[in-house]
Structure 1
């Protein structure tokens, strides 16, 4: 009986040591990056019955956990946040209509939280460059939808760049396209998010 207990204890210790020391290389290889708000640019573009428009996100943040030690980089965490009331078009009236449509009294942020990497492949013309598609939860105005976010990922020393664009529909998130001048100016339902973001350790 005692020999069986000792054998079980030895087995549990061996498993613990394997888990502890076996995961050390993975832990060391994975690196944490933070989105640099002062670099890069995130814009939202769209149309209206009067003219095309663009809004720039002045406040953005995020976290990225990346392991670049293998043949292909492995992304285990990607979270991206935009403060809604930092979206600026250069026109106060349009900004106010945007904030009203997105209900910023209750929903202050737009967030993307990655669930999994759908695909990743090297870009032949770029050193340390890859095409990647991430599946995640995108939350706008309090409503969350699963979306596929495509981007180019470039690793340059202690910096990582994510660049791409994603078409969306406001109504898919329960947002009524803003109107102005008693409804005579109407915004189109389809928008496009352009992102060129820089992440540093």
Structure 2
């Protein structure tokens, strides 16, 4: 009876050990990256009745977690944040109008938070590049909308690259397109976000 109990105890311990060891590769396979603020570029472009315009985000941050052990990578975490008043056009008056439209006194950040991955497929010309469509929540000027965010993801060792573009309407976020010179210059409602971002371990 005693030998039977000891044998069962050994079996339980071995089963637990196998379970723990089996989980180790899963834990180690999840790679975490941080958005590199000093590299890459995130830019907003748009139109006006006078000329096209662009603003570059000078302060951005984020986290990305990818499991690359399977046939296709699994993106478990994706969040990036832009400090609203770090959007710079090179024209002080335009920047001031932008911050007023975004109500940056109350809403300091623009944030995207992943909720799920809709699609992911390999780019045939590259072994470590994938086309992705992510579902998530985008918050601008305090209003949050669900969006689909398309991008190409490249994972190469200790670095990941996320690049693409997304069209939006300012009015969808309660933002009135800025005006200048007593309303004689009007900004178009449609904008486009261009992102070519570098993420590092």
Give the TM-score taking structure 1 as reference length.
0.90
CA drift of 1:156 comes to: 1.6
Q: 1:149-164, aligned counterparts within 5 Å?
A: 149-164=149-164
Equivalent pairs, count: 192
Aligned to 1:143: 143
Which residue of structure 1 lines up, in the alignment, with residue 59 of structure 2? 59
Q: Which runs of 5+ in 1 are unaligned?
A: 1-11
Q: CA deviation at 1:157?
A: 1.4
Partners of 2:146 and 2:88 in 1: how far apart? 26
- Cα distance between partner residues in 2 of 1:186 and 1:20: 62
Q: Which runs of 5+ in 2 are unaligned?
A: 1-11
Written as runs of structure 1 = structure 2, the 5 A alignment for 1:77-156 is 77-156=77-156
Distance, in Å, in 2 between the alignment partners of 1:156 and 1:193 is 24
d(CA) in 2 for partners of 1:38 and 1:18? 44
Q: Give the structure 1 partner of residue 72 of structure 2.
A: 72
The alpha-carbon deviation at position 19 of structure 1 amounts to 6.5
Is 2:56 the partner of 1:32?
Answer: no
Equivalent position SS for 1:54: strand
Report the counterpart of residue 44 of structure 1 in structure 2.
44
Q: Distance in 1 between matches of 2:141 and 2:19?
A: 42
Give the structure-2-normalised TM-score.
Answer: 0.90
CA, structure 1 residues 17+142, in 2 after alignment: closer, same or farther (shift >3 Å)? farther
Provide the alpha-carbon RMSD of the alignment.
1.9
User: Residues 75-126 of structure 1, C-alpha deviation per residue, up to 9 Å, x if partnerless?
Assistant: 0000010001000000000000000000000000000000001110000112
Give, in angstroms, the shift of residue 171 of structure 1. 0.3
Q: CA deviation at 1:137?
A: 0.4
Query: Which residue is equivalent to 1:197?
Result: 197
1:56–1:14 Cα change, 3 Å: same
